[in-house]
Structure 1
Amino acid sequence: MNAIDGARLLPWTSWDGKPCYLLRGNGIGYVSRLADRVEAEQLASAAELVEDSGRVLAELAWTPGEIHLLAVELNAHLANVLRVSESRGARLLFLEGVSGEGDEDSGGDGGGFEAPPVA
């Protein structure tokens, strides 16, 4: 078993942009609860931005600067949502692997989550 197996990808990065992980917690500690709150805030903020961007785009009266700002905000929020989905997907796969150890139908090697290619 690798030291990173079962580690939780946290919803923030280090000061130099590297991913942060919480190693094998029980899910109820301070950092886990903080990460849960940050993830919830990131998802709620992304949902609000989706609504706002729909209204902005529907008006058809935007400047190139407004579209650029919207693209920057959408990119940042999408990156947060992707990080949350990677973290949750990896934890689900790990739990499936742990509960299915020795089970031939466990569905893979229990490794990390990889997002599908973007079409």
Structure 2
Amino acid sequence: MSTSEQASPVGDLRLLPWTTPDGRPCYLSTDSDHSKLSLLADDVETAQLDSGEQVLAGARAVLADPKAGEGAVRFALTRSAECLAEILRIAVSRGARIPRSEP
């Protein structure tokens, strides 16, 4: 999932923090940041960020343990990569919603 794939195809669409079953991005068109779907997306983003913090703490613990086996390191790296993808998606979505000032 590259940044260019996540960019909104049309002006004011919000990139949602989930994808279609086949992995394509989902977008929301709404006049309100307080619509039910906008609020659900906000809640999902919050949960993803919280999960990222927990995974980061777990990955750091595994990396600090010199006796951690390959399985533990692979699991920590796999979960870290998943969380990083989610957090990058959130960053792209939020960045696209920052009002642009005219020069």
Does the pair score TM above 0.5?
A: yes
Cα 1:77/1:3, change in 2 over 3 Å: closer
**TM-score after normalising by structure 1:** 0.75
| In structure 2, C-alpha distance between the alignment counterparts of 1:40 and 1:83, rounded to whole Å | 13
Q: How many residues align?
A: 96
* Residue equivalent to 2:90: 84
Please, which runs of 5 or more residues in structure 2 have no aligned partner?
1-7
Highest Rg: 1 or 2?
1
**TM-score after normalising by structure 2:** 0.86
1:26 is paired with a residue whose SS is coil
Deviations 1:22-50 (A, max 9, x none): 01431110100000000000001101111
Q: 2:44 aligns with which of 27, 31, 38?
A: 38
| In structure 1, C-alpha distance between the alignment counterparts of 2:63 and 2:31, rounded to whole Å | 43
1:17 and 2:23 matched: yes
Structure 1 letter corresponding to 2:76: L
Contact 2:59-2:77 at 8 Å conserved across structures:
no
| In structure 2, C-alpha distance between the alignment counterparts of 1:11 and 1:18, rounded to whole Å | 11
With a CA cutoff of 8 Å and minimum separation of 6, indicate the structure with the bigger relative contact order.
2
| In structure 2, C-alpha distance between the alignment counterparts of 1:18 and 1:3, rounded to whole Å | 12
| In structure 1, C-alpha distance between the alignment counterparts of 2:39 and 2:75, rounded to whole Å | 32
Contact 1:42-1:80 at 8 Å conserved across structures:
yes
Structure 2 letter corresponding to 1:31: L
Of 65-74 and 36-45, the range deviating more from structure 2 = 65-74
Moved over 2 A (4+): none
1:5 and 2:48 matched: no
